[in-house]
Amino acid sequence: ETAVFQTPNYHVTQVGNEVSFNCKQTLGHDTMYWYKQDSKKLLKIMFSYNNKQLIVNETVPRRFSPQSSDKAHLNLRIKSVEPEDSAVYLCASSSWGLQDTQYFGPGTRLLVL
């Protein structure tokens, strides 16, 4: 049963364009995350938000910016995409705490031509 929703599923664009990805969770969680998964399946965290506040901002290029309207939504905008941005972007959510499991969405696959 899906509780973390991501749109779009797939997006193809050209270098220099702007893209936006959406994420919504219906689990009532306080914390949401964006991860980037490369072709070798390595998951790297990009951002963590707790109750609409940015908590973790890993070293990602400044063209990436997260946006949160409420604790159930966390979007990701990429200004001026580059070829190395081609990847799967995964959104996740969890309750507060160190022992809390993360629940992932199905991902948005981005291809930059």
Burial of 21 (0-12, 13-18, 19+ CB in 10 A): buried
| 15-34: contacts with other proteins (CB under 8 A) | 31
Distance CA(48)–CA(28), nearest Å, equals: 16
Q: Does 106 bind other proteins (CB under 8 A)?
A: yes
Which is closer to other proteins, CB of 41 or CB of 62?
A: 41
Strands 10-13 and 108-112: parallel
Stretch that binds other proteins, among 38-46, 59-67, 68-76, 78-86 (CB under 8 A): 38-46
Contact, 64 vs 75, CB < 8 A? no
Interface positions, 42-81, toward other proteins (CB under 8 A): 42-45, 48, 50, 55-56
Q: How many of the chain's residues bind other proteins (CB under 8 A)? A: 25
Interface stretch with other proteins, choices 14-22, 60-68, 69-77, 100-108 (CB under 8 A): 100-108
* DSSP-derived pairing of the beta strands 87-94 and 103-104: antiparallel
